[in-house]
Structure 1
Amino acid sequence: MPARVLVLNVGSSSLKFGVYDGASASAECAGNITGIGRQAQAEVRDLSAEERRSFSLGPITSREAVEWVLAWYRQRHPGEAPAAIGHRVVHGGNRFTGPTVVTPAVYQALAELSYWAPLHQPRCLEGIELARELWPHALQVASFDTAFHATQPRVARLFALPRYFVEQGIMRYGFHGLSFASVVRQLSQFAPELRERKWVVAHLGSGSSLCAIQGGQSIATTMGLTPLDGVPMASRCGSLDPGVLLYLLRHGGLDVNQLERMLYTESGLKGLGELSGDFRELLASQSPQAHEAIGVFFYRVRREIASLAAALEGLDVLVFTGGIGEHSAEAREQICSGLQWLGVELDPEANRAGSGRISRRGSRVATWVVASDENGEIAQEACALLRASGTH
C-alpha cells in the first residue's frame, strides 16, 4: 500500500487540502473550501484523472470543514490511513523554526502561542486534534508560517521597547513564510540565475504581507509579532500608530476584546470601503469609499516595496503571488505604476496574461507572477520527516 500524505492548510475563512505521494511529494489530488462561516463551497481536483468536482456545503464552521475533508479522504481511500498529515501552523514563536513532529508537548506549546494569532492558530490546532483522533498512529507534522523568517538579522526583528519584553519573545516574526518559500523554490527552478539576486515578494490576498529575500533567505518582512501588522488587508488593519489604540481604549468606548475584534475582522478594506473585504467587490463598486480603500491598499503596498528595497540595498526581482497578486492585473499595474523610479517596468500584454515574467524586455527589475504553493511546501516538509522517522 503506497504511503500518502494528507495536507491540511486551515485559514481564517478557507481550507486548502491535498493528497501527495509520500515518497516523491507529488500531488495526486488538490482541493479547497471557501466561504467558511457563510455558504461554503468545496472544489476537488483529481490531478491524475484530470477531474474536477464541486460541492455546496452550506454555512459550516472551520471545524466542520476539516471534518468534511477527513471524511472525503476516508471515502477516497477506504481502510487506508495517511502515513503523515502535514498541517500549516501560523505561529511557531522562537522555538519552532522548522517542520516539527507534533507530540502532546509540542501541541501544548503551540496552543500557548494562540494569543499572538487568535484568528488562525486555534483553527490550525483544531485540524491537528481532529486528524490525531481519527488516525492516532499517523505522523502529525507542523509546518510554520514564521519559520522562513528565522534568518532575518536581529536588527530587523527588534521592537524599540524595554529589553525585558524581547526576553519574553516580543519581536517581529513575520508570516506567509510557506508561500514565500514556495515562490523561492519555484522561481529558482524557472530562472536559477535569479536565486542570489535581491527580491521583494508580495503575497497579496485576504491576508497580505511582503518579504525582502536574498539568496533564498528572508531579510525583512512587513508583518511583525502578529498577522495584524503591515499593509491593510481584507478585514485586518495593518500597521497603526500605537497611540490610536490607546485612544480607542480610553475614549473610544471599546474594551480589549472589542478592540481585538475590530482590528481583526472590521478594519482594512472592509472597514475603509464600508462594503466588503473582498477586493473584487470593491474594485467593481462605484462607491467612492470603496475606491479610496483600494487606493490606500495600493499606496501602502508601493511604500512597503520601496522600504524592503532599502533593506536589501537594491532591487532586482519583484514577484506577485497570493489571490490578488496572481489574479488581478489591475492591482499589479496600479502598484507598479508608482515604481518606475525603482526600475519596475511592466509589459502590459504580459501583465494581462498574468503568468510568468510580466516585465518589459530591458526592465531593470524582473517582475514575475508566481502561483503560491503552500501545500506543496507543507507536503515536502512532511515527506522529509516521514523519511527521517523510518516509519515508511
Structure 2
Amino acid sequence: MKSMLKNYLNKNQARIFTALILTGILSVASGLTLIKDAKGASANFSLETSNELKENIKSSRLPRPVANAVLRDLARRQGISTRQLQITDYNQQTWRDGCLELPQPDEFCTQALVPGWRIVVSNGKQNWVYHTNSNGRSLRLASPDTSSDKLPVSVRNVVLQAAARRLQQPISKLTIIQAQQQTWRDGCLELGNLNELCAQALISGWQVVVRGVNQTLVYHTNETGSVVKLNEKTSESTLSPVQIPASELPPPLDRDIVFRQISSGGFAGRTYETVLLKDGRLIRVRIGDANDSERSVRRVSRQQVQQFQRYLERSKFRKFQNLSYPAPSGAADYITFTLTSLEGTVRYNDISLNNLPKDLQAVVKAWNQLVVSAQ
C-alpha cells in the first residue's frame, strides 16, 4: 500500500511540475502578446472563446464582457457570425440618462449620469454604433452607418446651428449622435410641402441626428450643408421628465374636486387655478386677487365629468405622477401648467406641449375641450 501511495505521489508531483513549467511558458508568451498589443494602434476586437480572452492592461481599454455583449447582439440582429464583425473604435462616455441618450418614443428615462461606452462595430462594409453602460448589461444600437467621423465640417456646423436655434440651447449642449450618407430622391430632400415644387433629381447628402438636453432632432442636408431641412415626422421630440421636488407639489385635492389646473407665468406673470367639481362646476380664480374680481363659475354635465374621469383612467394618467417636463434651456415668458388628479400631479409648459408623450398630450387636449364646452 505504501509503495502504491509513493508511486502515486511521485507521478502526481511530476504532473504538477510539468504543469508549472507549461504555465510559466504560457505566462511568458501571454506577457509578450500583451506587450505587442499595447504597442499596436489597432482598436479591433472580435468575439473569442473563453480560452482566448486577454486581460485588460489599462482601465481605458474596452472590457471584454462589454465587447462580447455588443458583438453578440449585432450578430443576432444581422443573422451573421460574430467572427464577421470587428470593433473598430470605442471611447468612454458618461450618458445623461438611463436610456443611454437613445430613448424610444414616449419612453421615460431616469435622469442620472450613467458611465459607459460608445462603440463602433464594422463588418468591413457597414458601421454600427452602440451605447452601453459600464458592464455591457445595458446596451442600445443607435443606427447603421451612424459614425459622424466622416461628416463634413461644413455640414456639422450648419446642422448644429439649426438645432441650437430650434431647441433654444447652446451648441455646447448638443451632440451629433448619428450621421448617415443618403441619396435623396428630389431637390427638397424628400421633405417638400404639398405646395412646393421639388426638382426631380437625385441629391447626395446626409441624414444627421442631433441630441439636445431634452430632445432629439433629425435633419436632412445636401452634400455641402447649403440646404438643411428638419424632418419633423421622424424627430424624436419627446421630453425627458424629472421628478417634482416634494416641496413644490401642490396640496392634494379636496374630496369634491375631480381635477385641478394651476397656470402661472407668461408675460403677465399671473397665477390662475381652475378646478372641476364632481357636480360639474368649473371654478376659475386668480391666486392673489384680494377682491376675487376674476372669479368665474361655469358648468359641464355630470355625464361629461364621468366621461373625463374614465378617460383619465384609460390614459393611465397615474404613470405621469409627480413628473415635470421642463422648458428648453434659455426659454422665457412661457406658461407653466400643473395638473392634479386623485392619482397624482404632472407639470409642463406651453412651448413644449407638442413634445410631450402622446398620452399626456391627449389628456391635456381632453381637459381643454372640457373647459371650452363649459357654459
**Greater strand fraction, Structure 1 or Structure 2:** 2
The one of the two structures with greater contact order (alpha-carbon pairs below 8 A, sep at least 6) is: 1
**Greater helix fraction, Structure 1 or Structure 2:** 1
Tell me if TM exceeds 0.5.
Answer: no
| Alignment TM-score, normalising by the size of structure 1 | 0.25
